[in-house]
Amino acid sequence: MYAARHGSGESAQNVPMAVTALNTNLLQAANTVNITDIGALMPNVQTPTVATFPGFPNFSIRGVGVSSSLPSVDPAVNILQDGMVIAFQGGALPSTFDLESVEVLRGPQGVLFGRNATGGAISFRTRRPGDSFQVLADVDYGNFNTADVSASVEGPIGTPDVLGKVAVIYRHSDGLFTNTNDGIFVPAPGNPTGAPILHGTGQVGGVDEITLKPTFEFNLGDSNTLTLFTQYERYNDGASYPRIYVPPNVASTPLQTVYGFTPTATGYSTNITNDGYEHLDEKHVIGELVSHFGAAQLTTTAAWRHVVFDTTVNFDGTPFALYFLPDNHETSGEYSFETRLNVPVIAKRLDLTAGLFYMDYTMNVTEQRAILSATAAAPFAATFARQVSSQTDNAVAGYANFDWHVIDNLTISAGGRYSSEAKDFTGTPVSNCIGQSFSNCPLTFSALNKRWNNFSPRAVVDYQATDSVLAYASYTEGFRSGNFNDRATTADAFGPANPETVDSYEVGMKSDLLGKTLRVDLDGFYEKYQNIQQVLTLQIPGAAPIQTILNAATATIKGIEAELTERPIPALRFEENFGYTDPRFTAFNVPVPGVANPTSLQFSRIPKYNTEVAANYTRKLATLPGDFQGRVGYSWRSGFFTDLPNTPQLRQSSYGLLDANLSYVTDKWTVGLFGRNLGNTDYADIKGHNFAYVEWGGQPRTFGIRFTTKLF
């Protein structure tokens, strides 16, 4: 168990915090592909992408998160891969391929985890190489011509003290969205004849990805182990695809009045002339050195990561390309170092965890946009605009935590973390180009810098009532650094916004009952969410709208979480989780256009209720050497608004997703069928309103066959 940052592994049931650990078997049984698929497997965790820009996570935990694709804005939920904090969020959606575990920590992680975070942390651990020669292969094929082919080779390299593993996965898909020529065209200023605009049709949003992961483990005597995690990813994918919809009882949009087009495509269909792309090139090296000094353990992690992220996005989802973002280019590089000491200091009654963290991170961004006027007088007059920015982030921190075992079954923990983070930002506001191209774009740069310091304390009391029942209460603070707005429309709107903080109070219980056939984990929390950072568009009388980043509000969040596992008979296992989140704004520091009382608003993209139930069944037949294994899971989320002003037309109704798989498993191979969203439920992650009403995200019904084999 990685969550508690103790020197030795321990069960999640012994960690006094709300944490869910997912192993390889569960990740495969739930048909997960990448990090976005794990949100349904635990309470109060949302893992959608921003949707408007592909590959950009917009994760939230317990209502605390980010709803933006601004490259300059830090996440509220940290993603860690093998101990490395992923700083640049573009393309930050690690695959669940070749993992030994995923741990999701709910609530602020202000002391023990790499970079400070107000929402929580998601930690991925790559599977270590084994000490015997082994070859594994896994092939999936499904609808939309989707194929995932993965393989790994592992074992000793010349000596038992050097172990190696090379894992590779190739993913291909024609795309989950269907491009059509559907729609009603009538004469209008932007299309005087009312003639249909025809283009190629078929699947869009295709996938062409390869990931290579060489991993090496060196046993350096009895006291030291060095593990090297390396990775190279190359994506040549389609972009995220918006889908136009027409809500009932709304006024006609410019798409209808100026261009004479009313969409009729439904579900996961669209009608676009110009699609886009996502090109990602990511590589990293992580070194983890674990050294033992008697009862003490020192863990040092050093990491380097480099990303090139290029995208072209059709933002309006229409055949007219009204809002097009072509050839956006982003690069980033980061270096990080963390060393952590775990030591029992007084006769096993007092344990110390202490460490230092350093990160240096640089990003460079060029974004371009071409937007039509959508006016009857000049419907195809376009505004070309460009924005260029760079940012360097230097973060240092020191932390310490003491666990005092007052008596054998009562522990009091206390700790704190001091963080100092400095950002140097250089950028130009979104600037209009001269003419109808990007060849002449006057840019005026501003240079800004700011440093923020923070101390975040932590206190926990846990009581092991019996060998199988743990109760705990905790107080934790989290801190998210101040942020600049690299898409500002004026120099004054660059910001920065100052840091936001979360004070979290939590009580919980973890238990294994009835001979470990029933597991019940419960917790309740109350959080004070202060200086909430929001990206807002302000309408100033007599001036153009200004996009800015502000410390807009404060709020309180309360909720409960439950995770249960029952095994009534050895062959049958049920899993359930339930989450309730109730965030309430207590103050708003800025006006929200069109909203008289902003404190009455609901948090955007946060369902109040979420739940998942799953049944797993294993059946062995005497006449066959293997087992039949099946899993059926159903996840449900209540409805939520997808924008800050809570526009009724941009609300996503409640929805549920049904997944299932059935496999035949032997010692050497497995063959099975799988299906996701079997009801083909139509849902979206986010909705918007520009030239028309548009939605992004969701995934249609997918199904296929899977074959896995162990060759040696």
pLDDT at 112 over 80: no
Q: How far is CA 249 from CA 253, 317, 690, in A?
A: 12, 21, 17
Of 256, 367, 377, 268, the closest CA to residue 320 belongs to: 256
Does 1 have pLDDT greater than 80? no
The rounded Cα 10 to chain-centroid distance in angstroms is 26
Residue 543: what pLDDT? 45
pLDDT, tens only, 225-254: 999 999 999 999 998 888 999 998 898 999
422 or 382: whose pLDDT is higher?
A: 422
Superfamily covering domain 12-710: TonB-dependent receptor, beta-barrel domain (2.40.170.20)
pLDDT higher than threshold 80 for residue 599: yes
User: Is the pLDDT score of 616 beyond 60?
Assistant: yes
Instruction: Tell me the mean pLDDT in the region 684-710.
Output: 92
User: What are 244's two structure tokens?
Assistant: 């136009």
CA-based angle 325:548:88, to the nearest 5? 60
Give residue-wise pLDDT tens across range 344-401: 887 778 999 999 999 999 999 999 999 998 888 888 888 999 999 999 999 999 999 9
Cβ(207)–Cβ(172) under 8 Å?
yes
Q: How far apart are CA 269 and CA 671, in angstroms?
A: 32
Greater pLDDT, 544 or 202: 202
- Coil vs helix vs strand at 479: strand
Model confidence pLDDT, tens digit, residues 481-522 = 999 999 888 888 898 999 999 999 999 999 999 999 999 999
Closest listed residue to residue 671, CA positions, set 707, 641, 628: 707
Mean pLDDT of the chain: 91
Structure token pair of residue 12: 């999640």
Q: Structural domain boundaries of the chain?
A: 12-710
Q: Give the rounded distance of the alpha carbon of 200 from its chain centre.
A: 33
For residue 540, pLDDT over 60 is answered with no
Region 256-260 average pLDDT: 94
pLDDT band at 542 (very low <50, low <70, confident <90, very high): very low
Q: Tokens for 462, please give them.
A: 């846990």
The pLDDT value recorded for residue 6 is 56
Burial (0-12, 13-18, 19+ Cβ within 10 Å), 535: buried
pLDDT band at 9 (very low <50, low <70, confident <90, very high): low
pLDDT at 216: 98
Task: Give the integer Cα–Cα distance in Å for 692 and 694.
Answer: 6
- Residue whose C-alpha is closest to residue 7's, from 361, 556, 401: 401
Asked if residue 478 has pLDDT above 90, the reply is yes
Mean pLDDT of 409-413: 96
Q: How far apart are the first and last CA of the chain?
A: 29
Residue 597 has pLDDT above 90, yes or no: yes
Q: Is the pLDDT at 148 greater than 80, yes or no?
A: yes
pLDDT on residue 94:
76
pTM equals: 0.94
pLDDT tens column, 635-665: 999 999 999 999 999 999 999 999 999 999 9
The residues facing 280 across adjacent strands are 235, 309
